Amino acid sequence: MVAFGKKLKERQIQEWQGYYINYKLMKKKVRQYTQQIQVGSQDRGHVLKDFSRMLDNQIEKIVLFLLEQQGHLASRIAKLGEQQEALQRQQDISKISELREAYREVGRDLLKLLYFVELNAVGLRKILKKFDKRLRHRFTDYYVKTRANHPYSQLQQVFKHVGIGAVVGAISRNLADLEDCQGSYLSIYDQPALPLQDPTIESIKAAVDRLTHSTNFLHFLAQHALILHEELPTPVEEQVDDGRYHFMSLLLNLANTFLYMVNTYIIVPTADDYALSLGAAATVCGVVIGAMAVAQVFSSVYFSAWSNKSYFRPLVFSSIVLFLGNIMYAMAYDLNSISILLMGRLLCGFGSARAVNRRYISDCVPIKIRMQASAGFVSASALGMACGPALAGLFQCHFKVFNITFNQETLPGWAMAVGWLFYLIWLWISFKEPSREKEPSHKPEESNEESLQTDALENGLQQPLLLSLEEKDEDESGDQEFDGSDEASEESHQPATSIASAYRLLTPSVKVQLLIYFMLKYAMEILLSESSVITTYYFRWSTTKVAIFLAFLGLTVLPVNIIVGSYISNMFEDRQILLASEVMVCIGIILSFHLIIPYSVAQYVSSGLIMFVSAEVLEGVNLSLLSRVMSSRLSRGTYNGGLLSTEAGTIARVIADGTITLAGYLGESRLLNITLLPSLAICISSIIATIYTYNTLY
């Protein structure tokens, strides 16, 4: 990849060149420190003191220049304000237009200043990360916390952006006043819900959002989608996004996500009964449920490739295939054919367009609302997961129409076929295919990469420069940090062209996080897919009770993410939450075993809830970290980071469903413990890998 030092130099504003962080010098010093400590010529305490002083000087240089430029902007705004005051009496339209353009020019200069701060912020966190890795010391935590909490902190100027906020407010208010020629007495402060829709102001707000990007529920939730982008976009990119964006098309993508998740889980409460109705064992439900995941392993790849050329045609194909697959699933009852049933579920899996849904948000949604769109993607998935079993619980009837049976086993298929038919009609009428012009400079924003870590300090200050130490570093590749090589290789910045090339871009920490993702999806699939068989065997639950239990689990997703995203992630580091969640999943699995005492509803429900909720927390934090540590080359193309995570999770589901069916041959009395053993083994392995990786790297 292109070294960050070279990238920084290329993007510098020439007249401000002397005020940027001296990344090259600091990287050289880090190399010297490493050599000095290795040979014993310098003690660690002296190195930490010297490096701290160097950082203080660099930050002071940046902040003083920032304040100076803010002063210049404030002076220009003050002079424009005097001109505006004089125009209030004259109402000269031509001069008002000139004044409005002058304010926009100040706004564009402010935008340059924001990019200046952003580049320096990225440079600062990268050099801190490099220092931590090379010297095996948690210096970043110490440095940021001590400097940010000090009353004379230079970092406070960067963190809080008080001056920048005042300049943005002044430009916004005055532009709004100039837009209003009707003599209204209201200002932007009287109508905060109706912000000024000016392109310059929107660009400034987007840049400020990226710079301050604090952890909250919306950002945390959006990271579940694992929609990878690149950092430091330009205003040109935002205009490109705006030109391709169509709200109804985004809504259709979210609707596709919702319906697909409903389609996945609507059969879970009745799959065992359906298998028995067709003369198979109840545990064949694992194969029935997992058939969809098997097909999704392949469909994710071709849908991801297809989305390079079109979004509309893959969605149409997906809807037709899912419509036909659900009809086959429903007709299998009257045809008395388990083969037709499985073929219907396979066909449904071949219609999985989640790769297209992710790609549309990444490529076509404007930066300023991409976080909300990503959160919408996750929310639609969670809602679908809850609605599927709930709907199945409502289909408690039995009747025939023209010799076609409608009962609790077939109605899920018929209901989803009707749903996909209506969706197809809506899609055909309302979807707008985005333009496909060549955009050489188009690099979607890394909404997670450049987001600045937010470990909350005692005074509630958010820390934009303190990113997790697991984050990707574009001037490093894999283990280059550990083999003594300082300069990043000048390898291509093109996207990966195959699964193999994508795999080679994965660092050890990324592989561990994909293992964690595999583990949690495996454990969750075991819990959900065998729930009907287990509860029927031990507790004689009806389909309605199973549906209520599964719907309840699905409804915990959003509340859990609210708690984690809004509170827990501000109190603990992501890696601490990650490890604690893995341990809780392990505890949930252990508590689920049927050992000596009689198996009770309380034990099953409580252990299942612990396992599921912990897995949800783990998924959120894991994907949040994963979105940061993945190579930026995996943010584009067919074989992107989203595809890799989807494949890891889908393969886990396939293996879990297969395990249920195979274990069923040993008898339903042994099913629970046998299926939990692999979950426990994989969970323990992931905990060991997590501890080993972070102890080794950090």
Chain segment 483-531, per-residue pLDDT in tens: 334 434 434 456 666 677 777 777 777 888 888 889 988 998 899 888 8
Q: What CA–CA distance (Å, rounded) separates 300 from 298?
A: 5
Nearest to 473 by CA among 184, 14, 147, 140: 140
DSSP 8-state secondary structure symbol assigned to residue 634:
G
Beta carbons within 8 Å of 42's beta carbon, 6+ residues apart:
33, 36
Give the per-residue pLDDT at 5: 62
Give the per-residue pLDDT at 473: 43
Q: What CA–CA distance (Å, rounded) separates 680 from 611?
A: 11
Task: Please state, in angstroms and as integers, the Cα–Cα distance from residue 233 to each residue in 125, 228, 360, 608, following that order.
Answer: 18, 13, 18, 43
End-to-end CA distance of the chain: 23
Q: What CA–CA distance (Å, rounded) separates 327 from 404?
A: 11
Q: Which helix (H) or strand (E) holds 281?
A: none
Give the per-residue pLDDT at 454: 30
- Concatenate the DSSP letters of all residues of 407-470 into one string: STTTHHHHHHHHHHHHHHHHHHHH--PPP----TT---B-TTTSSPP----TT----TT---TT
pTM over 0.95: no
Provide the angle, in degrees to the nearest 10, between the axes of the packed helices 411-430 and 247-265.
170
Q: What CA–CA distance (Å, rounded) separates 95 from 104?
A: 14
Query: Which residues of the chain, if any, have pLDDT below 50?
Result: 1-2, 181-196, 214-215, 230-240, 439-492
Q: Is 349 helix (H, G, I), strand (E, B) or coil?
A: helix
Asked whether 534 and 671 are in contact (CB, 8 A), the reply is yes
CB 244: neighbour CB atoms within 10 A?
Answer: 21
CB 172: neighbour CB atoms within 10 A?
Answer: 21
Q: Which domains occur in the chain, in start order?
A: 3-226 (no CATH), 247-432+501-693 (1.20.1250.20)
- Summarised one tens digit per residue, pLDDT across range 269-325 is 888 889 888 888 888 888 888 888 888 888 888 888 888 888 899 999 999 999 999
